[in-house]
């Protein structure tokens, strides 16, 4: 599988998982928020419904509802409207000229048919605040309140008024009654004249309903006439479904004249618009899924474009590598930005170096062939001349052939040493060395060559120039510089070899008064087979490997070699090697 496909697949997978998890978390959070908001709205609706339901249970009509509606609207910031079943407005917090009400009402306010969702609890569907004929007169309330207060003083507890005005004692921890306590608790719980009359009327309505609807002539439970004013709220253990239906019907028939008629309740925003219902239904989930799919498609397109952007330079690098392996050393790629750009630039550098190496290899082959051709041609020519009898095979011919053989031998030796240096197999045998002795030995070895060229060769040395080095290789490196200086110094010139200690270095400098080197040629003086004399005449140069070998020998000792020159005035080669600090200096 290609990198492009893998990158696209991984990007798509990551995007899909991220979008899916995000959508799931968002849906969960949204669902929770919606449920909380709907719960809060439902709680507010229930409170409003209960307040208006209590008003309806305590009033015979809705004529006094407007102040209540206005007060509730101010408290909740909602528009509250009450209408009849025919949509005749009974009360509206928005006032005249308000926007039209929604088509559907929020709930029906009917104290005789309570909505169990907004007002749970209770034993039946009739609001307990709807007492109707069971409402006590003020005189009855005062009498029962006096008895309730006396009971609290005797037995403890608190007094709570029921919707009908009857005081009910809620006992606390029992305490012994005082000796002068004269409270008749039976009188406190007995039905008053008003309650007895209303109870008798309710029993009559129940019996009429049973006779009319089912013909059930069974007597009602005995405890109905026991004097309990709230008998109708007690469960009947032997109550039939017909009795239960007749009891509910009789209670509604008895209370209907005492409560407000049913009204439609509208709870909306102040503008009159319906509160939007937000949920995560199937359509909502589908919208989320479609949105997530759209985002995934966009992420896929972005991932594909990004993958193409990344893969394009890699493909270019692959094509360039294939061309390079086919022999095209000059191939280059356009460098981009970032890590791919760094890779492209590294490839270009590598390609350039390979091209330089190839050119150097070709030049090396050409230079080696040129260097071998001249002595081999001379040897071949003299031998053919001797074979044909043109040249006598005397001592002079032998000397010429020997000289050409020595040239070939030096060239082969130089190439062998250079190959060892390139392969890292050039062996050194370091030991404590005095640079002054090395300089003196090299100068003494090249006196004859300097004298033959009419060049003054001198040595200048100082004390304490000790170092760890291979004395043979060090003399070879310095000797190559001295021989090169003598070769390029005209008659009457001079060559000076100086060895000295300089800080933590040992410096050997070879200075001449020769023709010098042009500034543009200085960087190439240590290249293989390079000569300042473009004619490559053997009278002005050797094999062209001496300075290259010198550089490798110096670098093998951990030092550096450099050249500085002034055309027409001379050249100075400088070797800097680490000093041996363990050898005592005099």
Per CATH, which fold does 353-426 belong to?
A: Helix Hairpins (1.10.287)
The tokens describing 59, both together, are 């009033």
**β-sheet bridge partners, residue 253:** none
More confident call, 25 vs 504? 504
What's the average model confidence in pLDDT over 136-141?
91
Reported as a pLDDT band with limits 50, 70 and 90, residue 423 is: low
pLDDT at residue 393 above 50? yes
Q: Which of the residue ranges 107-121, 242-256, 337-351 would you say has the lowest mean pLDDT?
A: 337-351
Closest to 203 (Cα-Cα) out of 184, 174, 223:
223
More confident call, 98 vs 185? 98
pLDDT at residue 530 above 70? no
**262 neighbors 57 (Cβ within 8 angstroms):** no
Please, what is the angle between helix 193-213 and helix 241-255, to 10°? 130
Q: In angstroms, rounded to a whole number, what is the distance separating the alpha carbons of residues 251 and 87? A: 28
Q: Which of the residue ranges 127-141, 228-242, 378-392, 402-416 would you say has the lowest mean pLDDT?
A: 228-242
What's the average model confidence in pLDDT over 169-190?
68
Q: In angstroms, rounded to a whole number, what is the distance separating the alpha carbons of residues 538 and 555? A: 28
What's the average model confidence in pLDDT over 511-528?
84
Residue 118, CA distances (Å) to 75, 121, 204, 360, 552 in order: 19, 10, 33, 98, 100
CATH of 427-578, one of 3.90.1150.10, 3.30.565.10, 1.10.1200.10, 3.40.630.10: 3.30.565.10
Q: In angstroms, rounded to a whole number, what is the distance separating the alpha carbons of residues 483 and 492? A: 16
Q: What percent of the chain has pLDDT over 90?
A: 21
Reported as a pLDDT band with limits 50, 70 and 90, residue 281 is: low
Question: DSSP states of 376-405 as a string?
Answer: HHHHHHHHHHHHTTSS--SHHHHHHHHHHH
By DSSP bridging, strand 158-161 and strand 107-109 are unpaired
**Domain spans of the chain?**
3-113+264-283, 132-260, 353-426, 427-578
Q: In angstroms, rounded to a whole number, what is the distance separating the alpha carbons of residues 114 and 119? A: 7
**How high is the pLDDT of residue 370?**
61
What is the distance in angstroms between the CA of the first residue and the CA of the last residue of the chain? 74
Question: DSSP states of 509-567 as a string?
Answer: EEEE-SS---GGGGGGTTSTT--SSTT--TTS---S-HHHHHHHHHHHTT-EEEEEEET
**443 neighbors 497 (Cβ within 8 angstroms):** yes
**How high is the pLDDT of residue 275?**
53
**How high is the pLDDT of residue 248?**
85
**How high is the pLDDT of residue 34?**
60
DSSP letter, residue 273: P
Q: Which of the residue ranges 36-40, 191-195, 235-239, 385-389 would you say has the lowest mean pLDDT?
A: 235-239
- CA angle, corner 31, sides to 26 and 34, nearest 5? 120
Average pLDDT, the chain: 79
pLDDT at residue 540 above 50? no
Q: In angstroms, rounded to a whole number, what is the distance separating the alpha carbons of residues 513 and 485? A: 9
pLDDT at residue 302 above 90? no
DSSP letter, residue 259: S
**How high is the pLDDT of residue 539?**
47
What's the average model confidence in pLDDT over 242-263?
88
What's the average model confidence in pLDDT over 233-244?
63
Closest to 440 (Cα-Cα) out of 412, 462, 421:
462
**How high is the pLDDT of residue 535?**
43
Phi, psi of 307 (to 5 degrees): -65, -40
pLDDT at residue 237 above 60? no
Half-sphere exposure of 452 (CA within 13 A, CB side): 8
Structure confidence by residue, pLDDT tens digits, 34-84: 666 655 677 888 889 899 999 999 999 999 999 999 999 999 888 999 999
**How high is the pLDDT of residue 31?**
66
Q: Which of the residue ranges 81-90, 116-125, 462-471, 498-507 would you say has the lowest mean pLDDT?
A: 116-125
pLDDT at residue 90 above 50? yes
Report which secondary-structure segment, H or E, holds 195: helix 193-213
């Amino acid at each position: 599988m290609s990198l492009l496909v893998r990158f696209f697949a991984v990007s798509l997978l990551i995007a899909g998982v991220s979008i899916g998890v995000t959508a799931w978390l968002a849906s969960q959070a949204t669902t929770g928020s919606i449920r909380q908001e709907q719960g809060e709205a439902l709680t507010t609706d229930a409170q409003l419904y209960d307040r208006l339901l209590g008003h309806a249970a305590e009033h015979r009509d809705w004529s006094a509802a407007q102040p209540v509606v206005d007060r509730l609207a101010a408290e909740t910031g909602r528009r509250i409207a009450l209408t009849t079943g025919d949509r005749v407005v009974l009360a509206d917090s928005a006032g005249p000229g308000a926007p039209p009400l929604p088509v559907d009402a929020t709930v029906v306010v009917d104290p005789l048919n309570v909505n169990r969702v907004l007002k749970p609890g209770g034993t039946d569907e009739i609001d307990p605040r709807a007492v109707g004929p069971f409402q006590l007169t003020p005189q009855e309330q005062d009498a029962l309140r006096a008895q309730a207060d006396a009971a609290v003083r005797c037995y403890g507890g608190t007094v709570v008024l029921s919707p009908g005005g009857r005081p009910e004692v809620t006992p606390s921890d029992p305490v012994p009654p005082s000796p002068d306590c004269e409270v008749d608790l039976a009188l406190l719980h007995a039905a008053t004249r008003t309650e007895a009359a209303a109870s008798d009327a309710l029993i009559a309505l129940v019996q009429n309903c049973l006779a009319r609807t089912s013909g059930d002539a069974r007597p009602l439970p005995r405890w109905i006439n026991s004097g309990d004013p709230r008998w109708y709220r007690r469960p009947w253990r032997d109550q039939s479904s017909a009795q239960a239906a007749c009891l509910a019907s009789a209670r509604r028939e008895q209370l209907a004249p005492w409560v407000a008629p049913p009204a439609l309740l509208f709870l909306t925003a102040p503008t009159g618009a319906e509160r939007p219902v937000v949920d995560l239904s199937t359509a909502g989930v589908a919208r989320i899924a479609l949105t997530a799919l759209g985002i995934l498609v966009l992420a896929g397109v972005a991932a594909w474009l990004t993958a193409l952007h990344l893969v394009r330079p890699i493909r270019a690098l692959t094509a360039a590598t294939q061309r390079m392996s086919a022999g095209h050393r000059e191939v280059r790629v356009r460098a981009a930005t970032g890590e791919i750009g760094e890779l492209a630039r590294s490839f270009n550098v590598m390609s350039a170096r390979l091209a330089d190496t190839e050119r150097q290899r070709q030049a090396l082959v050409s230079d080696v062939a040129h260097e071998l051709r001249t002595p081999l041609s001379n040897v071949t020519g003299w031998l053919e001349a001797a074979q044909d009898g043109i040249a006598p095979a005397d001592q002079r011919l032998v000397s010429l052939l020997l000289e050409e053989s020595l040239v070939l031998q030096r060239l082969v030796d130089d190439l062998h040493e250079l190959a060892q240096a390139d392969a890292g197999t050039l062996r050194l045998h370091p030991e404590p060395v005095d640079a002054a002795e090395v300089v003196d030995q090299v100068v003494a070895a090249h006196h004859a060559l300097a004298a033959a060229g009419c060049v003054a060769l001198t040595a200048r040395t100082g004390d304490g120039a000790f170092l760890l080095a291979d004395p043979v290789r060090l003399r070879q490196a310095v000797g190559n510089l001295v021989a090169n200086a003598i070769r390029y110094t005209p008659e009457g010139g001079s060559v000076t070899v100086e060895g000295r200690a300089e800080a933590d270095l040992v410096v050997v400098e070879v200075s001449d008064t020769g023709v010098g080197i042009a500034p543009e040629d200085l960087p190439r003086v240590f290249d293989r087979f390079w000569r300042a004399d473009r004619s490559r005449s053997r009278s002005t140069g050797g094999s062209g490997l001496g300075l290259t070998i010198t550089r490798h020998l110096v670098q093998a000792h951990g030092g550096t070699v450099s050249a500085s020159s002034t055309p027409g005035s001379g050249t100075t080669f400088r070797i800097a090697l680490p000093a041996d600090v363990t050898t005592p200096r005099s």
